Amino acid sequence: MSRNKLYILLAIACLVGYSWLFFNYRSGAETDPDGPGVCLIKEVTHIPCPSCGSTRSAISLLHGNMTDALYWNPIGFLLGIILVVVPLWLLFDVVLKKDTFFRFYKKSETTLEQKKVAVPLIILVLANWIWNIFKAL
């Protein structure tokens, strides 16, 4: 993937992410976990997927409820950090015509493909998934 393609894709993803958060913030999804969902796994099998609850987590973060955010889904923290950092980093790169983020992306891809990094992360995601199923999100 080229630099520009990645940047456009990420910019669109961040835009969609922020609109999704805004939409859910307005409709109070935090208090209504049984509202209409977009997660196909949950809609079809009634079993939550590893990232179910991260919207509720991010909205709890916006309200400043750290413990609630952690309870709903720890992935929400990660998404929150990405949503803050990535647009700023992209803006920095685009304005200064650099490719620091692109190189970081490529480097982290090769890091993630190493077994000693990938296996613990897969175990973490699986553990989070099992926790999600127990919480019945």
Partner 1 sequence: MEAQKVDMFIMMNSKFFEGHHLSQIRERLLAMDESKWGILQTLQFKDPTTILIVSILAGSLGVDRFLIGDTGLGVGKLLTCGGLGIWYIVDWFLIMDATREKNLAKLQMVLY
CA 57, CA 63: separation in Å to the nearest integer? 10
Q: Contact region for partner 1 (CB under 8 A) — 28-36, 43-51, 57-65, 90-98?
A: 43-51
Q: Are the beta carbons of 17 and 79 closer than 8 angstroms?
A: yes
Owner of token pair 């992360």: 121
85 near partner 1, judged by CB under 8 A: no
72 Cβ contact list (under 8 Å, min separation 6): 53, 54, 56, 57, 60, 137
The binding track of 98-117 with respect to partner 1, each residue x by CB under 8 A or -, is -------x--xx--xx----
Using CB under 8 A as the binding rule, whether residue 125 contacts partner 1 is answered as yes
Residues engaged in binding partner 1 (CB under 8 A)? 1, 13, 16-17, 20, 38-41, 49-52, 54, 75, 78-79, 82, 105, 108-109, 112-113, 125
